[in-house]
Chains A and B, each alone.
Chain A
Amino acid sequence: MTSLLTVSNLVKKFGGLTATNDVSFTVEKGDSLALIGPNGAGKTTIFSQIMGEVRQTSGTIHLAGRDIGGMSTAARIRHGISRTYQVPRPFSDMTVLENIRVGLMPDNLTQMVFGRVDHDREEALALSVGLAPQDLHRSPSELSMGDLRKLEMARTMATNPNVMLLDEVFAGLTVGEIAQISELIQSMRREGMTFLIVSHDLKALEPLVDRAIAINQGQKIAEGSFSEVMDNEAVVASYLGG
Protein backbone atom coordinates (compact mmCIF):
# COMPACT_ATOMS: atom_id res chain seq x y z
CA MET A 1 0.00 0.00 0.00
CA THR A 2 1.30 3.47 -0.78
CA SER A 3 1.86 5.78 2.18
CA LEU A 4 -0.21 8.95 2.36
CA LEU A 5 2.83 11.21 2.49
CA THR A 6 6.26 10.11 1.31
CA VAL A 7 9.28 12.40 1.47
CA SER A 8 12.33 10.96 -0.24
CA ASN A 9 15.92 12.21 -0.16
CA LEU A 10 14.87 15.81 0.36
CA VAL A 11 17.72 18.30 0.01
CA LYS A 12 17.53 22.07 0.29
CA LYS A 13 20.55 24.30 -0.10
CA PHE A 14 20.55 28.03 0.56
CA GLY A 15 23.86 29.05 -1.01
CA GLY A 16 26.52 27.32 1.07
CA LEU A 17 24.09 26.25 3.79
CA THR A 18 22.41 22.86 3.56
CA ALA A 19 19.14 23.40 5.44
CA THR A 20 17.75 19.95 4.63
CA ASN A 21 20.20 17.15 4.02
CA ASP A 22 18.84 13.96 2.47
CA VAL A 23 15.75 13.62 4.67
CA SER A 24 13.32 10.77 3.98
CA PHE A 25 10.24 9.66 5.87
CA THR A 26 6.72 8.39 5.33
CA VAL A 27 3.43 9.11 7.03
CA GLU A 28 0.69 6.48 6.80
CA LYS A 29 -2.99 7.32 6.66
CA GLY A 30 -4.31 8.06 10.14
CA ASP A 31 -0.77 8.29 11.48
CA SER A 32 0.48 11.13 13.65
CA LEU A 33 4.17 11.88 13.35
CA ALA A 34 6.21 14.31 15.44
CA LEU A 35 9.04 16.24 13.85
CA ILE A 36 11.39 17.32 16.61
CA GLY A 37 14.76 18.97 16.85
CA PRO A 38 16.47 22.01 18.36
CA ASN A 39 15.98 25.56 17.08
CA GLY A 40 17.28 25.97 13.56
CA ALA A 41 17.35 22.22 12.92
CA GLY A 42 15.33 22.71 9.71
CA LYS A 43 11.87 21.51 10.74
CA THR A 44 9.94 24.46 9.35
CA THR A 45 12.03 24.35 6.14
CA ILE A 46 10.85 20.76 5.66
CA PHE A 47 7.25 21.92 6.16
CA SER A 48 7.74 24.73 3.68
CA GLN A 49 9.12 22.32 1.08
CA ILE A 50 6.25 19.88 1.55
CA MET A 51 3.85 22.79 1.01
CA GLY A 52 5.80 24.19 -1.95
CA GLU A 53 6.50 27.54 -0.30
CA VAL A 54 10.19 26.72 -0.63
CA ARG A 55 11.35 24.59 -3.55
CA GLN A 56 13.61 21.63 -2.74
CA THR A 57 17.03 21.46 -4.37
CA SER A 58 16.49 17.74 -4.96
CA GLY A 59 14.35 14.89 -3.70
CA THR A 60 10.70 14.02 -4.15
CA ILE A 61 7.45 14.52 -2.25
CA HIS A 62 4.49 12.21 -2.92
CA LEU A 63 0.98 12.61 -1.60
CA ALA A 64 -1.16 9.48 -1.93
CA GLY A 65 1.17 8.24 -4.65
CA ARG A 66 1.10 11.46 -6.67
CA ASP A 67 4.26 13.50 -7.12
CA ILE A 68 3.42 16.95 -5.70
CA GLY A 69 7.03 18.19 -5.60
CA GLY A 70 6.60 20.48 -8.61
CA MET A 71 3.13 21.82 -7.83
CA SER A 72 2.22 25.29 -6.55
CA THR A 73 1.20 25.63 -2.90
CA ALA A 74 -2.43 26.16 -3.84
CA ALA A 75 -2.44 23.01 -6.01
CA ARG A 76 -0.93 20.94 -3.20
CA ILE A 77 -3.63 22.18 -0.84
CA ARG A 78 -6.29 21.20 -3.35
CA HIS A 79 -4.72 17.74 -3.42
CA GLY A 80 -5.33 17.41 0.30
CA ILE A 81 -2.43 18.74 2.35
CA SER A 82 -2.54 21.86 4.49
CA ARG A 83 -0.51 23.58 7.20
CA THR A 84 -0.68 25.99 10.10
CA TYR A 85 2.05 28.52 10.87
CA GLN A 86 4.20 29.25 13.93
CA VAL A 87 2.75 32.73 14.00
CA PRO A 88 -0.97 32.65 13.16
CA ARG A 89 -1.77 34.60 9.99
CA PRO A 90 -5.39 35.69 10.18
CA PHE A 91 -6.97 38.21 7.79
CA SER A 92 -7.00 41.08 10.23
CA ASP A 93 -9.90 43.16 8.86
CA MET A 94 -12.27 40.23 8.55
CA THR A 95 -14.46 38.48 11.08
CA VAL A 96 -13.74 34.95 12.26
CA LEU A 97 -16.38 33.57 9.89
CA GLU A 98 -15.01 35.52 6.92
CA ASN A 99 -11.55 34.14 7.69
CA ILE A 100 -12.93 30.62 7.48
CA ARG A 101 -14.83 31.59 4.31
CA VAL A 102 -11.52 32.17 2.52
CA GLY A 103 -10.44 28.62 3.44
CA LEU A 104 -13.70 27.22 2.11
CA MET A 105 -13.56 29.06 -1.23
CA PRO A 106 -13.38 27.06 -4.44
CA ASP A 107 -10.39 27.97 -6.60
CA ASN A 108 -12.68 28.95 -9.45
CA LEU A 109 -13.63 32.54 -10.24
CA THR A 110 -17.08 31.72 -11.63
CA GLN A 111 -18.00 29.67 -8.59
CA MET A 112 -16.63 32.39 -6.33
CA VAL A 113 -18.94 34.94 -7.93
CA PHE A 114 -22.07 32.86 -8.51
CA GLY A 115 -21.79 30.13 -5.87
CA ARG A 116 -23.52 30.46 -2.53
CA VAL A 117 -21.67 31.04 0.72
CA ASP A 118 -22.11 28.04 3.00
CA HIS A 119 -22.76 29.90 6.27
CA ASP A 120 -23.69 26.71 8.11
CA ARG A 121 -20.40 25.05 7.26
CA GLU A 122 -18.42 28.15 8.28
CA GLU A 123 -20.15 28.19 11.62
CA ALA A 124 -19.85 24.43 12.13
CA LEU A 125 -16.09 24.59 11.46
CA ALA A 126 -15.63 27.48 13.89
CA LEU A 127 -17.56 25.71 16.62
CA SER A 128 -15.85 22.37 15.96
CA VAL A 129 -12.44 23.83 16.82
CA GLY A 130 -13.84 25.21 20.07
CA LEU A 131 -14.42 28.86 19.18
CA ALA A 132 -17.31 30.35 21.14
CA PRO A 133 -20.49 31.47 19.31
CA GLN A 134 -19.92 35.06 20.44
CA ASP A 135 -16.48 35.05 18.76
CA LEU A 136 -17.76 34.30 15.29
CA HIS A 137 -18.38 37.91 14.32
CA ARG A 138 -15.34 39.28 16.13
CA SER A 139 -12.19 40.37 14.39
CA PRO A 140 -8.95 38.42 15.00
CA SER A 141 -7.47 41.34 16.97
CA GLU A 142 -10.06 40.66 19.68
CA LEU A 143 -9.07 37.00 20.05
CA SER A 144 -6.59 35.41 22.47
CA MET A 145 -3.57 33.51 21.11
CA GLY A 146 -5.38 30.24 21.85
CA ASP A 147 -8.41 31.34 19.84
CA LEU A 148 -6.17 32.54 17.01
CA ARG A 149 -4.66 29.05 16.84
CA LYS A 150 -8.15 27.58 16.78
CA LEU A 151 -9.09 29.95 13.95
CA GLU A 152 -5.99 28.88 12.06
CA MET A 153 -6.96 25.23 12.58
CA ALA A 154 -10.49 25.96 11.33
CA ARG A 155 -9.22 27.75 8.21
CA THR A 156 -6.80 24.90 7.54
CA MET A 157 -9.55 22.32 8.01
CA ALA A 158 -11.78 24.31 5.68
CA THR A 159 -9.52 23.33 2.78
CA ASN A 160 -10.58 19.73 3.48
CA PRO A 161 -7.13 18.21 3.96
CA ASN A 162 -6.18 14.55 4.34
CA VAL A 163 -2.90 15.51 6.01
CA MET A 164 -2.38 18.48 8.31
CA LEU A 165 1.03 19.91 9.13
CA LEU A 166 0.97 21.76 12.45
CA ASP A 167 3.88 24.10 13.12
CA GLU A 168 4.48 24.96 16.79
CA VAL A 169 0.83 24.64 17.67
CA PHE A 170 1.43 25.28 21.36
CA ALA A 171 3.63 28.37 21.08
CA GLY A 172 2.36 31.24 23.20
CA LEU A 173 -0.52 29.29 24.72
CA THR A 174 -1.59 29.01 28.35
CA VAL A 175 -1.80 25.59 30.03
CA GLY A 176 -5.58 25.59 29.61
CA GLU A 177 -5.32 26.48 25.91
CA ILE A 178 -2.72 23.75 25.34
CA ALA A 179 -5.20 21.25 26.82
CA GLN A 180 -7.95 22.52 24.50
CA ILE A 181 -5.82 22.32 21.35
CA SER A 182 -4.55 18.85 22.40
CA GLU A 183 -8.10 17.65 22.83
CA LEU A 184 -8.99 19.05 19.42
CA ILE A 185 -6.07 17.20 17.77
CA GLN A 186 -6.99 14.00 19.63
CA SER A 187 -10.60 14.15 18.49
CA MET A 188 -9.47 14.74 14.89
CA ARG A 189 -7.13 11.77 15.16
CA ARG A 190 -10.03 9.62 16.28
CA GLU A 191 -11.84 10.72 13.14
CA GLY A 192 -8.89 9.54 11.06
CA MET A 193 -6.97 12.74 10.30
CA THR A 194 -3.27 12.34 9.53
CA PHE A 195 -0.84 14.71 11.26
CA LEU A 196 2.73 15.86 11.03
CA ILE A 197 3.43 18.02 14.08
CA VAL A 198 6.32 20.28 15.04
CA SER A 199 6.51 21.46 18.64
CA HIS A 200 9.04 22.44 21.25
CA ASP A 201 6.60 21.48 23.98
CA LEU A 202 7.62 17.82 24.03
CA LYS A 203 5.45 17.00 27.04
CA ALA A 204 2.31 18.22 25.29
CA LEU A 205 3.39 16.61 22.03
CA GLU A 206 4.02 13.07 23.31
CA PRO A 207 0.38 11.92 23.75
CA LEU A 208 -0.56 13.30 20.32
CA VAL A 209 1.81 11.23 18.17
CA ASP A 210 2.46 7.61 17.26
CA ARG A 211 6.01 8.10 16.07
CA ALA A 212 8.70 10.73 15.97
CA ILE A 213 11.64 11.68 13.83
CA ALA A 214 14.41 13.90 15.08
CA ILE A 215 16.22 16.40 12.89
CA ASN A 216 19.47 18.17 13.62
CA GLN A 217 21.35 20.47 11.27
CA GLY A 218 19.09 19.44 8.44
CA GLN A 219 19.67 15.70 8.86
CA LYS A 220 17.48 12.97 10.22
CA ILE A 221 19.24 11.62 13.31
CA ALA A 222 16.62 9.29 14.78
CA GLU A 223 13.28 7.70 14.01
CA GLY A 224 10.97 5.47 16.01
CA SER A 225 8.48 5.65 18.84
CA PHE A 226 8.44 8.94 20.73
CA SER A 227 10.22 7.52 23.78
CA GLU A 228 12.82 5.73 21.67
CA VAL A 229 13.65 8.93 19.86
CA MET A 230 13.76 10.95 23.07
CA ASP A 231 16.16 8.44 24.64
CA ASN A 232 18.41 8.39 21.61
CA GLU A 233 21.87 9.69 22.52
CA ALA A 234 22.29 11.76 19.40
CA VAL A 235 18.92 13.44 20.05
CA VAL A 236 19.79 14.22 23.67
CA ALA A 237 23.13 15.60 22.56
CA SER A 238 21.50 17.76 19.88
CA TYR A 239 19.15 19.32 22.43
CA LEU A 240 22.07 19.98 24.76
CA GLY A 241 23.85 21.70 21.90
CA GLY A 242 26.27 18.82 21.27
Chain B
Amino acid sequence: MNIRWYHLALWTAFIVGMFFLPQLVSKGTLRTIIFANYLAIFAISWDVLSGRTGYVSFGHPFLIGLGAYTTAILTKRFDVPVEISIPAAVLVTMVGGSLLFLPALRVRGSYFALVTLAFMELMYQLVQVIRPDLTGGTRGMSGIQTLTRGAVNGYYLSFGLIASLGFGMWLLMKTRLGTALSAIGMNEEAVRGSGLNTTKLKLAAFMLSAFVAGLGGAFYVHYLGSIAPRALFDINFVFTIIVAAILGGASTIIGPIFGAFFLTFLLEYLRPYLPGAERYFIYGGIALVLYMFEPKGLHHVLQMALSAIKGKSRS
Protein backbone atom coordinates (compact mmCIF):
# COMPACT_ATOMS: atom_id res chain seq x y z
CA MET B 1 0.00 0.00 0.00
CA ASN B 2 1.37 3.32 -1.04
CA ILE B 3 0.30 5.40 1.95
CA ARG B 4 2.44 8.33 3.02
CA TRP B 5 2.37 10.16 6.34
CA TYR B 6 0.90 13.28 4.76
CA HIS B 7 -2.04 11.29 3.42
CA LEU B 8 -2.98 10.32 6.95
CA ALA B 9 -2.23 13.85 8.17
CA LEU B 10 -4.62 15.27 5.59
CA TRP B 11 -7.35 12.78 6.50
CA THR B 12 -6.87 13.60 10.19
CA ALA B 13 -7.03 17.35 9.44
CA PHE B 14 -10.19 16.81 7.37
CA ILE B 15 -11.88 14.76 10.07
CA VAL B 16 -10.84 17.04 12.96
CA GLY B 17 -11.78 20.15 10.94
CA MET B 18 -15.18 18.72 10.05
CA PHE B 19 -15.74 17.66 13.66
CA PHE B 20 -15.38 21.21 14.98
CA LEU B 21 -17.14 22.85 12.07
CA PRO B 22 -20.55 23.24 13.77
CA GLN B 23 -18.89 25.54 16.35
CA LEU B 24 -17.67 27.83 13.60
CA VAL B 25 -20.37 28.13 10.97
CA SER B 26 -24.04 29.02 10.86
CA LYS B 27 -26.83 26.45 10.77
CA GLY B 28 -27.60 27.48 7.19
CA THR B 29 -24.07 26.70 6.11
CA LEU B 30 -24.25 23.39 7.99
CA ARG B 31 -27.32 22.46 5.98
CA THR B 32 -25.41 23.21 2.79
CA ILE B 33 -22.56 21.03 4.01
CA ILE B 34 -24.96 18.18 4.71
CA PHE B 35 -25.97 18.26 1.05
CA ALA B 36 -22.30 18.41 0.06
CA ASN B 37 -21.61 15.36 2.22
CA TYR B 38 -24.36 13.32 0.58
CA LEU B 39 -23.31 14.45 -2.88
CA ALA B 40 -19.74 13.42 -1.97
CA ILE B 41 -20.98 9.94 -0.99
CA PHE B 42 -22.79 9.56 -4.32
CA ALA B 43 -19.74 10.87 -6.20
CA ILE B 44 -17.49 8.37 -4.38
CA SER B 45 -19.89 5.59 -5.33
CA TRP B 46 -19.69 6.70 -8.97
CA ASP B 47 -15.91 7.05 -8.77
CA VAL B 48 -15.28 3.53 -7.42
CA LEU B 49 -17.08 2.13 -10.45
CA SER B 50 -16.80 4.60 -13.32
CA GLY B 51 -13.74 6.63 -12.35
CA ARG B 52 -11.74 3.45 -11.90
CA THR B 53 -12.94 0.89 -14.41
CA GLY B 54 -14.09 3.26 -17.15
CA TYR B 55 -17.59 1.75 -17.12
CA VAL B 56 -19.32 5.10 -17.05
CA SER B 57 -22.64 4.97 -15.26
CA PHE B 58 -25.31 7.48 -16.29
CA GLY B 59 -27.80 5.65 -14.15
CA HIS B 60 -26.47 6.03 -10.64
CA PRO B 61 -29.82 7.32 -9.35
CA PHE B 62 -31.08 3.81 -10.10
CA LEU B 63 -28.83 2.50 -7.31
CA ILE B 64 -29.40 5.47 -4.98
CA GLY B 65 -33.14 5.18 -5.61
CA LEU B 66 -33.20 1.48 -4.76
CA GLY B 67 -31.61 2.22 -1.40
CA ALA B 68 -33.86 5.20 -0.73
CA TYR B 69 -37.14 3.55 -1.78
CA THR B 70 -36.43 0.28 0.03
CA THR B 71 -35.90 1.85 3.43
CA ALA B 72 -38.66 4.42 2.85
CA ILE B 73 -41.23 1.73 1.98
CA LEU B 74 -40.13 -0.61 4.76
CA THR B 75 -40.26 2.05 7.48
CA LYS B 76 -43.33 3.96 6.33
CA ARG B 77 -45.55 1.19 4.99
CA PHE B 78 -44.48 -1.76 7.13
CA ASP B 79 -43.19 -0.06 10.29
CA VAL B 80 -39.88 -1.86 10.03
CA PRO B 81 -37.28 -0.26 12.32
CA VAL B 82 -34.44 1.56 10.56
CA GLU B 83 -31.89 -0.79 12.13
CA ILE B 84 -33.30 -3.43 9.80
CA SER B 85 -34.56 -1.33 6.91
CA ILE B 86 -31.24 0.38 6.18
CA PRO B 87 -29.16 -2.83 5.96
CA ALA B 88 -31.99 -4.31 3.87
CA ALA B 89 -31.83 -1.25 1.60
CA VAL B 90 -28.09 -1.73 1.13
CA LEU B 91 -28.65 -5.39 0.32
CA VAL B 92 -31.36 -4.60 -2.24
CA THR B 93 -29.10 -1.97 -3.82
CA MET B 94 -26.32 -4.52 -4.12
CA VAL B 95 -28.72 -6.89 -5.88
CA GLY B 96 -29.53 -3.92 -8.15
CA GLY B 97 -25.80 -3.43 -8.63
CA SER B 98 -25.46 -6.96 -9.90
CA LEU B 99 -28.30 -6.29 -12.37
CA LEU B 100 -26.46 -3.19 -13.57
CA PHE B 101 -23.37 -5.36 -13.89
CA LEU B 102 -24.96 -7.80 -16.36
CA PRO B 103 -24.72 -5.49 -19.41
CA ALA B 104 -21.07 -4.81 -18.49
CA LEU B 105 -20.36 -8.41 -19.47
CA ARG B 106 -21.13 -7.55 -23.08
CA VAL B 107 -20.93 -3.81 -23.70
CA ARG B 108 -18.68 -0.98 -22.64
CA GLY B 109 -18.04 2.68 -23.46
CA SER B 110 -20.94 4.83 -24.56
CA TYR B 111 -23.19 1.79 -25.06
CA PHE B 112 -22.81 0.81 -21.43
CA ALA B 113 -23.52 4.40 -20.36
CA LEU B 114 -26.75 4.34 -22.39
CA VAL B 115 -27.83 1.04 -20.85
CA THR B 116 -27.37 2.47 -17.35
CA LEU B 117 -29.40 5.52 -18.37
CA ALA B 118 -32.14 3.12 -19.44
CA PHE B 119 -31.99 1.47 -15.99
CA MET B 120 -32.67 4.85 -14.38
CA GLU B 121 -35.54 5.65 -16.75
CA LEU B 122 -37.02 2.20 -16.20
CA MET B 123 -36.88 2.65 -12.44
CA TYR B 124 -38.51 6.08 -12.78
CA GLN B 125 -41.40 4.61 -14.72
CA LEU B 126 -41.71 1.53 -12.53
CA VAL B 127 -42.00 3.37 -9.22
CA GLN B 128 -44.88 5.32 -10.71
CA VAL B 129 -46.90 2.44 -12.11
CA ILE B 130 -46.12 -0.58 -9.97
CA ARG B 131 -47.85 -0.48 -6.62
CA PRO B 132 -48.16 3.30 -6.26
CA ASP B 133 -49.80 2.53 -2.93
CA LEU B 134 -46.33 1.53 -1.75
CA THR B 135 -44.08 3.89 -3.69
CA GLY B 136 -46.34 6.93 -3.58
CA GLY B 137 -46.46 6.96 -7.38
CA THR B 138 -45.66 10.19 -9.19
CA ARG B 139 -45.91 12.29 -6.04
CA GLY B 140 -43.45 10.18 -4.11
CA MET B 141 -43.54 9.90 -0.34
CA SER B 142 -43.33 12.29 2.55
CA GLY B 143 -43.41 11.93 6.30
CA ILE B 144 -40.64 9.35 6.20
CA GLN B 145 -39.01 8.84 9.57
CA THR B 146 -36.01 11.09 10.12
CA LEU B 147 -33.06 9.89 12.17
CA THR B 148 -31.94 13.19 13.61
CA ARG B 149 -33.39 16.52 14.66
CA GLY B 150 -31.78 19.81 13.80
CA ALA B 151 -28.93 20.80 11.54
CA VAL B 152 -26.10 19.92 13.94
CA ASN B 153 -27.17 16.30 14.45
CA GLY B 154 -27.97 15.87 10.77
CA TYR B 155 -24.56 17.24 10.01
CA TYR B 156 -22.76 14.84 12.36
CA LEU B 157 -24.58 11.86 10.89
CA SER B 158 -23.68 12.82 7.33
CA PHE B 159 -20.13 13.62 8.41
CA GLY B 160 -19.77 10.23 10.09
CA LEU B 161 -20.93 8.59 6.87
CA ILE B 162 -18.66 10.50 4.53
CA ALA B 163 -15.66 10.15 6.84
CA SER B 164 -16.04 6.39 7.25
CA LEU B 165 -17.08 5.63 3.66
CA GLY B 166 -14.53 8.04 2.19
CA PHE B 167 -11.63 6.82 4.29
CA GLY B 168 -12.64 3.16 3.91
CA MET B 169 -12.91 3.37 0.13
CA TRP B 170 -9.72 5.40 -0.12
CA LEU B 171 -7.88 2.76 1.90
CA LEU B 172 -9.36 -0.04 -0.20
CA MET B 173 -8.43 1.68 -3.45
CA LYS B 174 -4.86 2.03 -2.20
CA THR B 175 -4.55 -1.77 -2.19
CA ARG B 176 -3.86 -3.88 -5.25
CA LEU B 177 -7.61 -4.15 -5.79
CA GLY B 178 -7.66 -0.41 -6.59
CA THR B 179 -4.69 -0.81 -8.91
CA ALA B 180 -6.39 -3.69 -10.72
CA LEU B 181 -9.65 -1.71 -11.12
CA SER B 182 -7.73 1.26 -12.54
CA ALA B 183 -5.91 -1.11 -14.88
CA ILE B 184 -9.31 -2.26 -16.23
CA GLY B 185 -10.09 1.36 -17.07
CA MET B 186 -6.83 1.64 -19.01
CA ASN B 187 -6.79 -1.68 -20.84
CA GLU B 188 -9.18 -4.46 -19.89
CA GLU B 189 -7.65 -7.00 -22.32
CA ALA B 190 -4.20 -6.48 -20.82
CA VAL B 191 -5.61 -7.14 -17.34
CA ARG B 192 -7.06 -10.40 -18.63
CA GLY B 193 -3.67 -11.02 -20.26
CA SER B 194 -2.10 -10.67 -16.81
CA GLY B 195 -4.04 -13.70 -15.61
CA LEU B 196 -6.76 -11.81 -13.75
CA ASN B 197 -10.45 -12.61 -13.98
CA THR B 198 -11.85 -9.22 -15.02
CA THR B 199 -15.46 -10.34 -14.56
CA LYS B 200 -14.79 -10.93 -10.87
CA LEU B 201 -12.99 -7.61 -10.53
CA LYS B 202 -15.74 -5.68 -12.27
CA LEU B 203 -18.38 -7.37 -10.13
CA ALA B 204 -16.42 -6.26 -7.06
CA ALA B 205 -16.41 -2.67 -8.36
CA PHE B 206 -20.18 -2.77 -9.00
CA MET B 207 -20.83 -4.23 -5.55
CA LEU B 208 -18.68 -1.63 -3.80
CA SER B 209 -20.33 1.15 -5.76
CA ALA B 210 -23.80 -0.21 -4.97
CA PHE B 211 -22.93 -0.59 -1.30
CA VAL B 212 -21.93 3.08 -1.04
CA ALA B 213 -24.87 4.26 -3.16
CA GLY B 214 -27.34 2.16 -1.16
CA LEU B 215 -26.08 3.36 2.18
CA GLY B 216 -25.95 6.98 0.98
CA GLY B 217 -29.42 6.78 -0.59
CA ALA B 218 -30.96 5.23 2.53
CA PHE B 219 -29.51 7.76 4.95
CA TYR B 220 -30.31 10.63 2.57
CA VAL B 221 -34.00 9.75 2.44
CA HIS B 222 -34.09 9.52 6.24
CA TYR B 223 -32.51 12.97 6.38
CA LEU B 224 -34.90 14.55 3.89
CA GLY B 225 -37.96 12.75 5.25
CA SER B 226 -39.38 12.62 1.74
CA ILE B 227 -38.73 11.19 -1.68
CA ALA B 228 -39.63 12.75 -5.01
CA PRO B 229 -39.07 10.54 -8.06
CA ARG B 230 -38.85 13.45 -10.48
CA ALA B 231 -35.94 15.01 -8.60
CA LEU B 232 -34.23 11.69 -7.91
CA PHE B 233 -34.37 10.08 -11.34
CA ASP B 234 -33.32 13.24 -13.07
CA ILE B 235 -30.54 13.59 -15.62
CA ASN B 236 -29.40 16.79 -13.88
CA PHE B 237 -28.84 14.81 -10.71
CA VAL B 238 -26.73 12.34 -12.73
CA PHE B 239 -24.68 15.18 -14.15
CA THR B 240 -24.17 16.76 -10.74
CA ILE B 241 -22.73 13.48 -9.45
CA ILE B 242 -20.49 12.97 -12.48
CA VAL B 243 -19.33 16.60 -12.59
CA ALA B 244 -18.49 16.50 -8.86
CA ALA B 245 -16.39 13.36 -9.36
CA ILE B 246 -14.58 14.54 -12.48
CA LEU B 247 -14.17 18.16 -11.37
CA GLY B 248 -12.56 16.96 -8.15
CA GLY B 249 -10.48 14.29 -9.86
CA ALA B 250 -11.82 10.92 -10.95
CA SER B 251 -10.29 7.69 -9.63
CA THR B 252 -8.98 9.35 -6.46
CA ILE B 253 -11.85 9.17 -3.87
CA ILE B 254 -10.55 12.40 -2.32
CA GLY B 255 -11.21 14.27 -5.56
CA PRO B 256 -14.96 13.56 -5.61
CA ILE B 257 -15.22 14.86 -2.02
CA PHE B 258 -13.51 18.10 -3.08
CA GLY B 259 -15.66 18.27 -6.18
CA ALA B 260 -18.89 17.77 -4.24
CA PHE B 261 -18.01 20.55 -1.78
CA PHE B 262 -16.83 22.89 -4.50
CA LEU B 263 -19.95 22.36 -6.57
CA THR B 264 -22.41 22.62 -3.69
CA PHE B 265 -20.85 25.81 -2.34
CA LEU B 266 -20.45 27.34 -5.76
CA LEU B 267 -24.14 26.85 -6.52
CA GLU B 268 -25.14 28.00 -3.04
CA TYR B 269 -23.06 31.17 -3.01
CA LEU B 270 -24.08 32.13 -6.51
CA ARG B 271 -27.74 31.93 -5.45
CA PRO B 272 -28.05 35.54 -4.11
CA TYR B 273 -26.55 36.95 -7.29
CA LEU B 274 -28.04 34.59 -9.83
CA PRO B 275 -31.22 33.08 -8.37
CA GLY B 276 -32.30 31.39 -11.58
CA ALA B 277 -30.86 28.76 -13.87
CA GLU B 278 -28.02 31.14 -14.87
CA ARG B 279 -26.03 29.68 -11.98
CA TYR B 280 -25.72 26.48 -13.95
CA PHE B 281 -24.20 28.48 -16.77
CA ILE B 282 -21.38 29.59 -14.45
CA TYR B 283 -20.90 26.11 -13.05
CA GLY B 284 -20.87 24.62 -16.53
CA GLY B 285 -18.33 27.22 -17.61
CA ILE B 286 -16.01 26.48 -14.69
CA ALA B 287 -16.29 22.74 -15.29
CA LEU B 288 -15.55 23.24 -18.99
CA VAL B 289 -12.46 25.36 -18.35
CA LEU B 290 -11.18 22.89 -15.78
CA TYR B 291 -11.69 19.87 -18.07
CA MET B 292 -9.86 21.63 -20.88
CA PHE B 293 -6.87 22.76 -18.88
CA GLU B 294 -6.75 20.27 -16.03
CA PRO B 295 -8.67 17.11 -16.92
CA LYS B 296 -7.34 15.37 -13.82
CA GLY B 297 -9.36 17.79 -11.68
CA LEU B 298 -8.92 19.84 -8.53
CA HIS B 299 -7.21 16.95 -6.78
CA HIS B 300 -4.35 17.19 -9.26
CA VAL B 301 -4.15 21.00 -8.93
CA LEU B 302 -3.78 20.61 -5.15
CA GLN B 303 -1.25 17.82 -5.58
CA MET B 304 0.88 20.03 -7.81
CA ALA B 305 0.61 22.90 -5.35
CA LEU B 306 1.66 20.56 -2.54
CA SER B 307 4.71 19.28 -4.40
CA ALA B 308 5.63 22.88 -5.33
CA ILE B 309 5.56 23.81 -1.63
CA LYS B 310 7.60 20.73 -0.76
CA GLY B 311 10.09 21.59 -3.50
CA LYS B 312 10.43 25.14 -2.19
CA SER B 313 10.92 24.06 1.40
CA ARG B 314 13.72 21.75 0.29
CA SER B 315 15.61 24.37 -1.71
Chain A residues close to B by CB (< 8 Å): 51, 53, 72-75, 77-78, 82-83, 85, 89-94, 98, 101-103, 105, 107, 109, 112-115, 117, 155, 158-159
Contacts and interface: CB of A to CB of B under 8 A. Distances in A.
Contacts of B195: 74, 77-78, 82, 103, 105, 107, 159
B183 A91 contact: yes
Nearest to B191: A102
Contacts of A83: 193
B194 interface: yes
Nearest to A51: B193
Contacts of A158: 194
Interface residues of B, number: 24
Contact of B187 (A89, A105, A109, A115): A89
Contact of B182 (A53, A94, A155, A159): A94
Contacts of A74: 192, 195-198
Given A77-B195, A105-B194, A112 B177 contact: yes
A94 B190 CA distance: 13
B200 interface: yes
Contacts of B180: 102, 105, 112
B79 interface: no
A73 B195 CA distance: 7
6 contacts: A72-B192, A82-B195, A91-B187, A94-B179, A105-B195, A113-B172
A103 B201 CA distance: 15
A131 B175 CA distance: 25
A168 to B, nearest CB: 15
A229 to B, nearest CB: 29
Interface string B185-219: 01101111111111011001000000000000000
Closest 6 CB pairs of A and B: A77-B195, A89-B190, A112-B176, A91-B186, A112-B177, A159-B195
B1 interface: yes
Kindly name the residue among B175, B192, B195, B196 whose own CB sees the greatest number of chain A CB atoms within 10 A. B195
Contact of B196 (A90, A94, A107): A107
Nearest to B190: A89
Nearest to A77: B195
